[in-house]
Amino acid sequence: MSLYLIKGGTLYDPKNNIDGVQEDLWIQDGKIIPSPKSQETKPDKIYDVRSMVVMPGGVDMHCHIAGPKVNTARKLMPEDKRNALKIERTAITRSGTTGSVPSTFATGYLYAGLGYTTAFDAAIPPLGSRHAHEELQDTPIIDKGFYVLTGNNHYIMKKIQSGEPHLVKSYLAWLLHATGGYGVKVVNPGGVEVWKSTGGNISGMDESVTHFDVTPRQILQAISRSVHEMKLPHAVHIHCNNLGIPGNASTTLETMHALEGARGHITHIQFHSYGGHPDDQSTFCSRVPELADYVNSHDNISVDVGQVMFSKTTSMTGDGPLGYFLHKVMGRKWYSGDTELEAGCGIVPIEYKNKSFVHSLQWAIGLEWYLLVEDPWKIAMSTDHPNGAAFLAYPEIIALLMDRQKREEVLKTVPQKIKDHCTLADLHREYSLNEIAIITRAAPAKILGLENKGHLGPGADADITIYNPQDDLQKMFEIPRYVFQAGELVVEDGEIRTPSSGKVFCVRPEYDQEHLKDINSWFDKNYTIQFNNYKIDDAFLGAHEIISIKHE
C-alpha cells in the first residue's frame, strides 16, 4: 500500500507528550509508522503542511447517531430538515438531510468534515442492535460502535435479587457478543422499569424498583462490578437517575460514591449537576464546583459534558420517564417506545433559548465543567448529540473554551441573574490547543480503552486532522485543511475525497458457557424472537475490529 509523508506540521499529540512540535508523520497500510531510517525512502505522496496544526482524528464518545430511537426522531421531525443545510449528491457521495438528526450518510460526511474520525452511539436498546448495525453500515467514513442499554434489564434485576452476580456478569458478556456492542450503558437504573410499570419514576438510589426487590444502587453496583471483573476496555457508562431535575447533584454524587472506587464514566454530567428545589425554578443553580472537586480527587471517575448550546434540537433518550417529563414541560409532540430485553425511549423536540434562565444556566453549567476539571484527561467534549446541541457545535465550544472574551460576550446576552447561580463569570481559564486535543481526541480514546485512537505514535490508526491556523478559532475547527482516516485522505477543505466505510468496534469478553442455558431459557420464555435469531454473526457485522481484553 502507498506510503505517505505528512511533512513539517506542528503536532499536538498529548498521549505522546508532543505539544506543538514540528515533526513529520509517515503513514502506511492505514497506520502511522516510525520515520524511515534511510534518507533514501521516497513516499508516494507528500503533503506539505508546514505552519499547519496536526492532531489525531477527533473521537466522539457519546452521541446518538443510529438505531430505532434516532431513526424515529428523523421521522418525527420533517420540519427540522426542510430549511436546514442540504447534503447534495456528488459523483462519489450520497445525498442526505440534516437538522438536529442527520440521515446516516450525512452523519458520516459531517463528522469527517469536522475532523472527527470515530463516534460511539451511546444508547442502543438490545432489541434494536441489528437495526443499529444496519444504520452504522450506511454511516460512511467514521469508525464507530455502540453501548448497550442494561440498567432496567429484567434478567439482571432478577439475578441481583436472587444473589447470583456471576449470572449478571455472564449475561452482560453474552449480550455484548450477541449485539456486537462495545460497552455497557446504564440509563436511569430502575427508573425506566418504574415508568413502564406505573407511569412514575424513581427518585432515590435506595428506592425499590416495582416488581423487583432491587434498588438503583444495587443495579449500578452489580453492573459496574461485572464490567470491572470482565476487564472491558471501557468502564460502565452511566446516565444517572434524576436527569434534569433541580437538586439532582446529590444523586450524581451518590452515584459516584456508590461505585466504591471502581471505574465509572458519568455521561452528559451537565444535566446532572443541578442544585435547588424541583418545585421552585428560581432556586435552580449550579453545583459543579463540589462535583468537579470529587472528580478532581478521584481517579476512578471520568465524565463527558453534554454541553447545551442555544439552538433548536431534538431530545432523545433511553430514559422513558424523562421523555414524558420533557413532553409535559414542552407540551409538544412526544414519542415513547418501551422494548423487551428491557429498554425505554423518549423523543421530544426542544429549543434552548438564551432568553431562558434555565437554558442559559444549563449552558453555563456545561462550560463550568470544562473549566473546573483540572486534569483534562478525565473529561471528554460532548453535546450528547443531539440532546444539548448537534455535534456541529463542537468548533463553537472549542472557541468558547480557548477564548474567555468570547464567553463574556455570550454572558452579556443571557439573563444576568445566572451569574449569581453559577461560577462561570469568575472562571478565567483558557484552554490551550494541547488541552483541546486532549478533550476531543486523546482523553475519549483513553477512556474508551482504544489504544490505536487519539494519538499519532507508531501503530496508531492513521486518523489525522490538519487545520490551518486562524484567528477565528471556530472557523479554524469548522473546516480542516485535510482529514485522513485509516491512512486515506477522506476530506480536503470540507469536501469528501474518499467515501470509505469505516469499521465497527466490538468486545467479546469470555464467560461460562454453562450459564448460557439459563439465559436461553429466560429469553425463550419472555421475548418474542428466537434466541438463535437474536445473535448477530460476524458476516452480518461487516468490517469490524474486536478490541482484545487484557488479562494482566
Partner 1 sequence: MSLSQEPIPETNKLKVIPDATCTHCGCLCDDLVLSVENNKVVEATNSCEAGKTYFLNQQTQDEPEALIEGKPTTYPEAIDKAVEILLAAKNPLTYGLSETTTEAQRVAVAITDWVGGIIDTTTSIGRGSSGLAIQEVGEVTCSLGEIKNRADFIIYWGANPVKNQPRHLSRYSLLAEGEFLPNGRKDRTAILIDVKKNETAKEMDPFLKVKPGSDFELAWTMRALLKGIDPDPSVEKKTGIKLDLIKNLIDQMKDAKYGAILFGAGITHSPGNELNRESIHLLTRDLNQFTRWVSRPISSQGNATGADNVLTWSTGYPFAVSMGRGYPRFNPGEFTAPGLLARKEVDAAFMISTGPMLNFTQADQEYLKTIPVIELSSGVSQFKAQPSVSLKSSTYGIHSAGTVYRMDHVSLPLRPSLKSPYKSEFEILKMIEEKVLIKTKEK
Binding of residue 325 to partner 1 (CB under 8 A): no
Closer to partner 1 by CB, 271 or 523: give it: 523
If DSSP codes are grouped into helix, strand and coil, which group holds residue 327? Answer: helix
The H-assigned helical ranges of 154-230 are 154-161, 165-179, 191-198, 216-230
Distance CA 145, CA 168 (A): 22
Among 10, 103, 273, 314, binds partner 1 (CB under 8 A): 103
Per-residue mark of binding to partner 1, 471-510 (x: CB under 8 A): ----------------------------------------
Q: Taking the mean position of all CA atoms in its chain, how far away is CA 162?
A: 33
Closer to partner 1 by CB, 102 or 115: give it: 102
Distance CA 192, CA 410 (A): 37
Task: Give the shortest CB-510-to-partner 1 separation in angstroms.
Answer: 24
The residues facing 464 across adjacent strands are 56, 484
Binding of residue 51 to partner 1 (CB under 8 A): no
If DSSP codes are grouped into helix, strand and coil, which group holds residue 469? Answer: coil
Please classify residue 78 by burial: count the beta carbons closer than 10 Å to its beta carbon, then call 0-12 exposed, 13-18 middle and 19+ buried.
exposed
Per-residue mark of binding to partner 1, 340-359 (x: CB under 8 A): xx-----xx-----------
Closer to partner 1 by CB, 99 or 275: give it: 99
Residue 209, C-alpha cell as written in the block:
424498583
Task: Give the shortest CB-175-to-partner 1 separation in angstroms.
Answer: 16
Among 22, 35, 51, 95, binds partner 1 (CB under 8 A): 95
DSSP class of residue 172 equals H
Task: Give the shortest CB-313-to-partner 1 separation in angstroms.
Answer: 15
Q: β-strands 58-63, 116-124: how paired?
A: parallel
Residue 329, C-alpha cell as written in the block:
414541560
Please classify residue 489 by burial: count the beta carbons closer than 10 Å to its beta carbon, then call 0-12 exposed, 13-18 middle and 19+ buried.
middle
Among 128, 189, 306, 480, binds partner 1 (CB under 8 A): 128
Distance CA 132, CA 118 (A): 16
Among 4, 47, 105, 147, binds partner 1 (CB under 8 A): 105
List the interface residues with partner 1, window 161-220 (CB under 8 A).
195-199, 211
Binding of residue 338 to partner 1 (CB under 8 A): yes
Binding of residue 521 to partner 1 (CB under 8 A): no
Q: Taking the mean position of all CA atoms in its chain, how far away is CA 511?
A: 27
Among 182, 324, 477, 505, binds partner 1 (CB under 8 A): 324
Among 282, 355, 529, 548, binds partner 1 (CB under 8 A): 529
- Four-point Cα dihedral 224, 230, 235, 236, nearest 10: -40
Closer to partner 1 by CB, 377 or 527: give it: 527
Binding of residue 313 to partner 1 (CB under 8 A): no
Task: Give the shortest CB-278-to-partner 1 separation in angstroms.
Answer: 19
List the interface residues with partner 1, window 394-423 (CB under 8 A).
none
- Binding part of the chain for partner 1, among 143-151, 299-307, 339-347, 350-358 by CB under 8 A, reads 339-347
Q: How many residues bind partner 1 (CB under 8 A)?
A: 70
Closer to partner 1 by CB, 348 or 437: give it: 348
CB atoms within 10 A of CB 374: 13
Task: Give the shortest CB-465-to-partner 1 separation in angstroms.
Answer: 26
Q: Residues 441, 56: contact at Cβ < 8 Å? A: yes
Among 16, 28, 43, 94, binds partner 1 (CB under 8 A): 94
Residue keyed to cell 481484553: 549
Residues 6+ apart with CB under 8 A from 489: 47, 482, 483, 497, 498
- Binding part of the chain for partner 1, among 70-78, 177-185, 242-250, 435-443 by CB under 8 A, reads 70-78
Among 58, 99, 113, 388, binds partner 1 (CB under 8 A): 99
Residues 6+ apart with CB under 8 A from 45: 2, 4, 5
Residue keyed to cell 466522539: 60
Task: Give the shortest CB-330-to-partner 1 separation in angstroms.
Answer: 11
Q: Residues, the chain, total?
A: 552
Binding of residue 109 to partner 1 (CB under 8 A): no
Residue 237, C-alpha cell as written in the block:
457508562
Binding of residue 130 to partner 1 (CB under 8 A): yes
Closer to partner 1 by CB, 283 or 501: give it: 501
Residue 40, C-alpha cell as written in the block:
533514501
Distance CA 179, CA 175 (A): 6
- Binding part of the chain for partner 1, among 53-61, 248-256, 421-429, 519-527 by CB under 8 A, reads 519-527
Among 283, 492, 542, 545, binds partner 1 (CB under 8 A): 542
Task: Give the shortest CB-190-to-partner 1 separation in angstroms.
Answer: 16
Binding of residue 78 to partner 1 (CB under 8 A): yes
> Maximum distance among all alpha carbons in the chain?
73
C-alpha pair distances (Å), 303 with each of 87, 269, 281, 443? 33, 7, 26, 10
Closer to partner 1 by CB, 76 or 167: give it: 76
Q: State the residues that interact with partner 1 by CB under 8 A.
A: 66, 68, 70-72, 74-78, 81-82, 86-89, 91, 94-97, 99, 101-106, 127-128, 130-131, 134-135, 137-138, 154, 195-199, 211, 324, 327, 333-341, 347-348, 525-530, 532-533, 537-542
